[in-house]
Amino acid sequence: MKTWDGLIQAEELLPLLGRADLVVVDCRFDLTDPHAGEQAWLSAHIAGARYADLDHDLSDHSQAGHGRHPLPKANALCQRLAAWGISPAHQVVAYDAGDGAMAAARLWAMLRLLGHRRVAVLDGGLRRWLALGLAVDNCAVSARPTQYEATFDTTAVISTAQVLARLHEQPAWLIDARAGARFRGEVEPIDAVAGHVPGAINRPYSDNLAADGRFLAADILRAQFRALLGDRNEDVAVMCGSGVTACHHLLAMHVAGISAVQLYADSWSGWISDPTRPVATS
């Protein structure tokens, strides 16, 4: 089977459904109603899709000081993957309601941290799938448990201590995926403090998308990120409010052929957990 490691189109996924080496995962999540994603999955999903809950499956809330969606431990994620019937040999396709930001790109990035390369996000998500008139069902999903053993590539994640140590650097090494008004500190509907990490630059994750909700073409993304980064070709990190929509940038940069990008998983909500850390507004 052909391998997909970035994006997959609905037209490409459709003929693959039912294959033993494919697992589809529904990652729909609503920050305003944490139960809405699972309820939507129960109501209708792509045939055979497992459900990944951002709070319970893709985060570990026992870790204080690491933001609103701390990364889970690698062994906990491996156990969940195995329960879904995913082994390191499977092709995984993640989707959410539409643009991949909540939270298909998060699952994609976490599998990449484990070294899993056969993982892709459904471009345009369930919204485009339905717009094409493709079928969904509400049948119960059963998975045959398997084995999954791996560890995270810790070099792909940057810690708060490492961010603090780099505050003296010239801008363009830390990209914040939040909306511009939140980045500038004009509004803050979620976190207790408004603003951004000093020296960070802003590119809302929505800038990665075309009008139809799919990702921009690779060459366009490449040109845009290169213009943003200037001469910097390495030591780049991405962040957002809680390390979720930042993964959208990881995926977009991967599509653009830009690698060696680190995730600041704690992101803004983790940064402000210590009031002594500096905050910038502009």
196: domain CATH number is 3.40.250.10
Report how far residue 61's alpha carbon sits from residue 278's, in angstroms, rounded to the nearest whole number. Answer: 24
The answer to whether the Cα torsion of 54, 216, 5, 71 is positive or negative is negative
Report how far residue 140's alpha carbon sits from residue 42's, in angstroms, rounded to the nearest whole number. Answer: 8
In this model, does residue 79 exceed pLDDT 90? yes
Number of domains in the chain: 2
In this model, does residue 1 exceed pLDDT 80? no
What pLDDT digit, counting tens, does each position of 131-174 carry? Answer: 999 999 999 999 999 999 999 999 999 999 999 999 999 999 99
Domain match, 125 and 163 both: no
- Domain end, chosen from 152, 176, 194, is at 152
Domain match, 16 and 96 both: yes
Domain match, 133 and 261 both: no
Does residue 276 lie within any of the structural domains? no
Domain match, 119 and 19 both: yes
More confident call, 84 vs 231: 84
- Domain end, chosen from 135, 152, 169, is at 152
Report how far residue 47's alpha carbon sits from residue 256's, in angstroms, rounded to the nearest whole number. Answer: 30
What pLDDT digit, counting tens, does each position of 167-186 carry? Answer: 999 999 999 999 999 999 99
For the annotated catalytic residues, the residue numbers are 240
What is the residue range of 65's domain? 7-152
Does residue 189 lie within any of the structural domains? yes
Question: Which CA distances in Å does 125 have to 87, 88, 229?
Answer: 23, 23, 28
| Residue 155 CB burial class (10 angstroms; 0-12, 13-18, ≥19) | exposed
What average pLDDT does the segment 15-31 reach?
A: 97
